[in-house]
Chains A and B, each alone.
Chain A
Amino acid sequence: MNLTRALFVVLALSLTACSVDKSSMSIFLAKETCSCKFLVGRSTKDCKKDASLTLLFGDLTIDEENKSVTATAEDKSNPATARFVSEKFGCEVVL
């Protein structure tokens, strides 16, 4: 497990190093956590657990009042924010 995780993080870091967009990991964490929390309706604890299952990690700030999530991935990529739009259209990434 630790080996898998380590491998994955190395892959992830090499990915962001090569990619044009330096914030994919943060966008991923922000969007997935926003959908988990505000569209699917899971607890913050479960959403953080789900996010950790993807083996990508970072700081997550969940704004319950404005239904938005800001994430800064552990590769120190640019932070990204996703916000809940509606029950029908879920969350969107703030561009």
Chain B
Amino acid sequence: MLKTICLIITLVFANLAQADWPRRTPAQAGFEPRTFNSFVRKASAQHLTFKTDSLLVIKDGHLVFEGYYNNYHQDQRHALFSLGKTMINALYGIMEHQGLVHRDDLLSQYYPTGHSSVTLRHLLNMSSGIDWIEEDSKDLLASDPWFAFYSRESYRDMPAWVDARGQAHSANTKFNYSSGDSGLLVAAMRGAVAESDYANFAWKNLFRPLGMNTVAIEKDGSGFQALHGSGFASTRDIARLGLLYLSHGVVEGRQLWPADWVNFTATRAPAQSTPADPNDRNLQNNQAYGAQIWLNIKRAGDKARPYPELPSNALLGLGSRGQILMILPTEKLIMVRTATDSELSVTNRKDYRHGIFKALYYSLKRGGS
């Protein structure tokens, strides 16, 4: 009897969790069908160094397209790499709303850091000044994330390995895209929540309320949940995260974030008020960045936005090997792409993204939206 009840409960919950999105055809959703098909062909084509594993489009809360390739399927997780940093942003919004942290708190309030002037805001804006090269123009494979995630030395305790670095710049004076900064946010999160709550905090406060039931986060040797590079989620769950930004953090009538959180997230890092240095060794440093998410606005000195055809309020979560979460708040449009790309050139990777963003947005414009 008990078994039957359990089975029924399990089935009901499984159904809720997998509750299908209402669907619309591209035409019903406001896209021009012909150009929408061109977008799909472009974004799902398998190239030598660009291999799309899944593609999903949501417009006004309706599923418009969903495709899986290379033997991936709907319920399967995909490695997120740096796309997990967007989840870090979401979790910090939640923690601030719950009074556990404030963005202007010092890192030292939550983690025994050697960087006494660094605040959570600096870390969220990738502006801690802590020495780090995310993608090294001089030697791609000598880039810091490689060692951060795949050397025994750092794996034992990822945040400690970052914290041992020196200050290359004073805090908040230089934007420097750094998985190290995100790793320290992971560390501060553990300090901000009760140790007994830590194991489940992200699931209880973010993933479960959003119906994101596939998320997994791998831990380092000290038990830190390495969401800055080792998260996993299904394509649909990545889209669910995107929808949270469209609803300004409201889930089923409940506010998860402070009222200004999306605005803060979409505000360019203050350290980007000076032009990008063309000789910067870190190849990830030349585009506009908010709080753990990329922006489509100009940095000081830029002639054009990174993706000129796209609206300036676009939010872009990006991860290694081609993971993309594109959020267009005004158009209520979400696009997710997971991939196993192996393209080495930063320029080619950006051009590829630009191509599919442009194709999708063009179809929407042609459709009259």
- List A residues at the B interface (Cβ < 8 Å): 1, 4, 8, 11-12, 14-15, 18-21, 23-25, 27-28, 31-32, 35, 39-43, 46, 50, 53-55, 85, 87-93, 95
Contact = CB atoms under 8 A, between A and B. Distances in A.
B139 A15 contact: yes
B218 A91 contact: yes
B274 interface: no
Nearest 6 pairs between A and B by C-beta? A21-B151, A90-B218, A15-B141, A28-B150, A24-B150, A27-B150
A53 B76 contact: no
Given A20-B151, A53-B342, A92-B218, 8 more contacts: A24-B147, A24-B150, A27-B150, A27-B151, A31-B150, A41-B76, A54-B342, A90-B216
A24 B149 CA distance: 9
A18 B151 contact: no
B71 A46 contact: yes
A93 B218 CA distance: 10
A33 to B, nearest CB: 12
Contacts of A18: 142
B217 A89 contact: yes
19 contacts: A14-B141, A18-B142, A23-B151, A28-B150, A31-B149, A31-B150, A39-B77, A40-B78, A40-B232, A54-B342, A87-B216, A89-B217, A89-B218, A89-B225, A90-B216, A90-B230, A90-B232, A93-B152, A95-B152
B140 A88 contact: no
A92 B139 CA distance: 27
Contacts of B217: 88-90
B150 A53 contact: no
A53 B79 CA distance: 15
A15 B155 CA distance: 18
Contact of A24 (B49, B70, B146, B203): B146
Nearest to B75: A41
Measured as residues with beta carbon below 8 angstroms from the partner, the interface class of chain B is 35 or more
B140 to A, nearest CB: 6
Interface in B32-61: 48-49, 51
Given A40-B77, A89-B216, A90-B216, A95 B221 contact: yes
Q: Chain B interface secondary structure, helix, strand, loop or mixed? A: mixed
B137 interface: no
Given A53-B51, A88-B216, A93 B344 contact: no
Contact of A35 (B153, B156, B218, B225): B218
B286 interface: no
A40 B344 contact: no
Contacts of A87: 216
A68 B352 CA distance: 35
B312 interface: no
Contacts of A35: 79, 218, 232
B219 interface: yes
B79 A1 contact: no
A27 B342 contact: no
Given A1-B48, A87-B216, A21 B140 contact: no
B340 interface: yes
Interface in B130-166: 139-142, 146-147, 149-153, 155-156
A10 to B, nearest CB: 10
Interface in B217-231: 217-219, 221, 225, 230
